[in-house]
A and B are shown apart, each in its own frame.
Chain A
Amino acid sequence: MAKISRRRALTLAGVGAAGIAGTGAAALRFTADANAGANPDPVTGAVAFTGAHQAGIVTPAQDRLHFVAFDVITKDRDRLIRLLKEWTAAAARMTAGQDAGEIGAVAGIPEAPPDDTGEAIGLPPCALTITVGFGPTLFRGADGRDRFGLAARRPAALEPLPRFTGDTLDEALSGGDIGIQACANDPQVAVHAIRNLARIGMGTVSVRWSQLGFGRTSSTSTAQATPRNLFGFKDGTRNLKAEQEELLREHLWVQPGDGPDWMAGGSYLVTRKIRMLVETWDRSPLAEQETIIGRHKGSGAPLGLSDEFEEPDFTAVGADGEPLIPTTAHARLAHPDANKGARILRRGYNFVDGSDGLGRLNAGLFFIGYQRDPRTGFIPVQRSLAAQDEMNEYVRHVSSGLFACPPGVTGPDDHWGSALFA
């Protein structure tokens, strides 16, 4: 029964699954294509799980996100390693469009709970990627304890983030020992992935916080159009792209010699939940919105220019003698020129967590940024934004996370964190 795909499980399930077969049928062809053809459909097909780097970083940003941060509640190092092995196996299966467990959602004995929760039966892989990272607290707890004998292996780059001016962080929504990002082009597939990992982890880890996201707010490939964030602006025009291998080596992937060997080929992940005060933003004049961002709302072009991808001219001045792109504009402050060349690969998502009880949308941007070193990546950029960005009037940073994402899993005998725990 091993390695059964969800598609196969569906046919075997027969009459009992009749209710879902109708919806599954159309999707099934994609799975079959993905497995058979050399060029899987980029929307519904499978993304390779193994490789030099983890999938889900330069993978063309999918449309949906389920991110979760876990606290490790066991004290037993072997039990944690066992979980990482089980998680890796489940992640490999799920990204291929199979059930989380070897038995599956509907093929086990009636008396046992299924080893897959079943809500993805009949759905294709939907470009699911599952990316794991380790937080600073896994290496040394808040009380300074070396929890799993890893303290000496903590990279210097994994120093907890400093407090930025204006941060209104909720501790219960921040940090975590292990962060897992699941991205897919179907929200049900992303949720299924996280739900099954949480189920497998019960007793070893505990969910600390999680976040759903929709509508990618960045492009990570030149093949993708630039999406819009909830302020209505194009976001990620100048983002690092999968095709820019030279820049990725320089800014994204940890290089040998950067720190401990176990991180070579990995990347550092920063998450920030940024609540947007959309109601007040929506009341502000178009011209003010554009000067805050530094770009035209319609085209996404830098102020004073007409094409989205034109290089902004920060020296241009208007008729009043003031810079066309204000010194406090978001695009200027975030630009590599203002940050000693620092560049981050962003793959954030919009979120709406319903309303907040005052009738305001509880909405914003779940920022996700990957970089070779947060000390030269996110930290200086955010310091500058926190101090000067005019946009701060309309945003609140409520959650923050930092995770060291190890390199990719090399094959069936490898598992997440194998080099860290070796």
Chain B
Amino acid sequence: MRRSPRLLALVTAGSLGASLAACGSGEDTPAPAGGPIAVQATDTSCEVARTSTEAGTSVFAITNKGQKVTEFYVYAPGDRVMAEVENVAPGLSRNLHVELPAGTYETACKPGMIGKGIRGQFTVAGSAAPLTDDAALLAATESYSRYVKSQTGALLERTTEFVAAVKAGDVAKAKELFPIARTYWERIEPVAEIFGDLDPRIDGREEVTEEGLKFGGFHRIEKDLWIDGSAAKSGPIADQLLTDVKEIVQKANAEKLSPLQLANGAKALLDEVAAGKITGEEDRYSHTDLWDFNANVEGSKAAIAALRPVLQERDPALVKTLDTEFANVDATLGKHRAGDAWKLHTELSKADLKELSDAINALAEPISQVAAVVAKKKA
């Protein structure tokens, strides 16, 4: 899991707006409707210059006049993160680009980067041509949505079995089902991360549990099973897990994904591998990281597969590279199969992990180029 969602619509933080204009390469991105919207943030206030705008890509220019480091968010109803910019240090200005369809939103500054933030209403009216107006890109998102549906179905089924085993006190069965239920979670993790609090509740690790929040979810049960060797106290946590999974499944299936989310999601899944699975920190009690590793790669592959016709048309060389590197990851990972299952993280040597890390990096680099290909409007 990640501490905060990263899979955002059309988001970049930084100083891109000005440099784009200066370099005359601005045709790649739609012109912001009505210019940047200034946001003056202090430790106690969040002044957004306009509270409404036209549909399309908006740019928020956030200036932190306070003493604390701040964040700025745009939320859709239900606190779904549309865009965020983190770590705006005092005195600094950052730009946030976001593609917003018509609707009502909330803006929020978070001085000190904690809490719900200082909220304000924000309305978007009118209509803009979304990227999915391109038939091939629309087909890509529809194809990936079907994948998400199939995976969430299995996730719910397997989590239900896992929860039942935990509640029945069957530690052996629960241990067996743990990495299997997680496979479906890990395949679609970037989608899950869209839903603010649900992701940390389901998949949060002990040290990233927010202040005031109890350590629960998959990894809490993992600790009970592997460290305590007992599920006696895990019942209520398992119940909560199932409730949360049901909610996320429902939300994920209702979610309209943008093609950029697919592209960034494919990359985010590999980043998950590079950051948490290679190191063994994700499944630190069970050491079943390779199950997650494989699932992340499969999920990434599914997103790229959905985009494939578009990529093939726009950048066939990139597709060739991706095919080669995916095959290399599969072959490298394949060395660590144990029957139908995977070796434990602790059974891998440092050299094994280095080789896996190299393979993931070799794939993640070209995958990081996919979003730019997708964003490019058809000539």
Interface residues of A, Cβ cutoff 8 Å to B: 1, 9, 12-19, 73, 106-113, 172, 199, 202-204, 206
CB-CB under 8 A from A112, the residues of chain B are: 368-369, 371-372
Tell me the bound Cα distance from A128 to B354 in angstroms.
Answer: 30
Interface residues of B, Cβ cutoff 8 Å to A: 10-12, 14-20, 22-23, 25, 28-29, 61, 89, 91-95, 97, 260, 263, 325, 350, 354, 357-358, 361-366, 368-369, 371-372, 374-376
**Is A12 a contact of B365 with CB atoms below 8 Å?**
no
Knowing A13-B18, A111-B374, say if A19 contacts B91 (CB, 8 Å): yes
Please list 27 pairs of residues, one from A and one from B, whose beta carbons are closer than 8 Å in the complex, sorted by A's number. Answer: A1-B25, A12-B19, A12-B22, A14-B19, A16-B17, A16-B19, A16-B93, A19-B89, A73-B358, A73-B362, A106-B15, A107-B20, A107-B23, A108-B25, A109-B25, A109-B375, A110-B10, A110-B11, A110-B29, A112-B371, A112-B372, A113-B368, A172-B350, A202-B361, A202-B362, A202-B364, A202-B365
CB distance from B84 to the nearest CB of A (A): 15
Closest A-B pairs by Cβ, 8 of them: A16-B15, A203-B362, A112-B372, A14-B18, A110-B12, A111-B375, A19-B92, A111-B371
**Is A13 a contact of B19 with CB atoms below 8 Å?**
yes
Interface centre among A12, A17, A172, A203 (most CB of B within 10 A): A203
- In the complex, what residue of chain A is closest to B374 when comparing beta carbons? A111
CB-CB under 8 A from A204, the residues of chain B are: 362
Tell me the bound Cα distance from A16 to B358 in angstroms.
Answer: 34
- In the complex, what residue of chain B is closest to A16 when comparing beta carbons? B15
CB distance from A194 to the nearest CB of B (A): 16
- In the complex, what residue of chain A is closest to B57 when comparing beta carbons? A110
**Is B95 a contact of A16 with CB atoms below 8 Å?**
yes
CB-CB under 8 A from B368, the residues of chain A are: 112-113
Interface of B is mostly: helix
Tell me the bound Cα distance from A15 to B95 in angstroms.
Answer: 9
CB distance from A17 to the nearest CB of B (A): 5
Partner of A15, one of B10, B20, B93: B93
**Is B372 a contact of A111 with CB atoms below 8 Å?**
yes
**Is B361 a contact of A16 with CB atoms below 8 Å?**
no
**Is A15 a contact of B23 with CB atoms below 8 Å?**
no
CB-CB under 8 A from B91, the residues of chain A are: 19
**Is A203 a contact of B361 with CB atoms below 8 Å?**
yes
CB-CB under 8 A from B325, the residues of chain A are: 203
Tell me the bound Cα distance from A25 to B29 in angstroms.
Answer: 30
**Is B18 a contact of A12 with CB atoms below 8 Å?**
yes
CB-CB under 8 A from A9, the residues of chain B are: 19
Partner of A16, one of B18, B350, B357: B18
CB distance from A197 to the nearest CB of B (A): 13
Tell me the bound Cα distance from A206 to B357 in angstroms.
Answer: 9
CB-CB under 8 A from A203, the residues of chain B are: 325, 358, 361-363, 365-366
CB-CB under 8 A from A73, the residues of chain B are: 358, 362
CB-CB under 8 A from B374, the residues of chain A are: 111
CB-CB under 8 A from A14, the residues of chain B are: 15, 18-19, 22
**Is A15 a contact of B89 with CB atoms below 8 Å?**
no
CB-CB under 8 A from A206, the residues of chain B are: 354, 357-358, 361
Partner of B23, one of A12, A17, A199, A202: A12
Tell me the bound Cα distance from A404 to B307 in angstroms.
Answer: 45
- In the complex, what residue of chain A is closest to B91 when comparing beta carbons? A19
**Is B29 a contact of A109 with CB atoms below 8 Å?**
yes
CB distance from B67 to the nearest CB of A (A): 15
CB-CB under 8 A from B363, the residues of chain A are: 203
**Is B18 a contact of A15 with CB atoms below 8 Å?**
yes
Tell me the bound Cα distance from A14 to B361 in angstroms.
Answer: 33
Tell me the bound Cα distance from A378 to B361 in angstroms.
Answer: 37
**Is A111 a contact of B95 with CB atoms below 8 Å?**
no
Tell me the bound Cα distance from A150 to B184 in angstroms.
Answer: 47
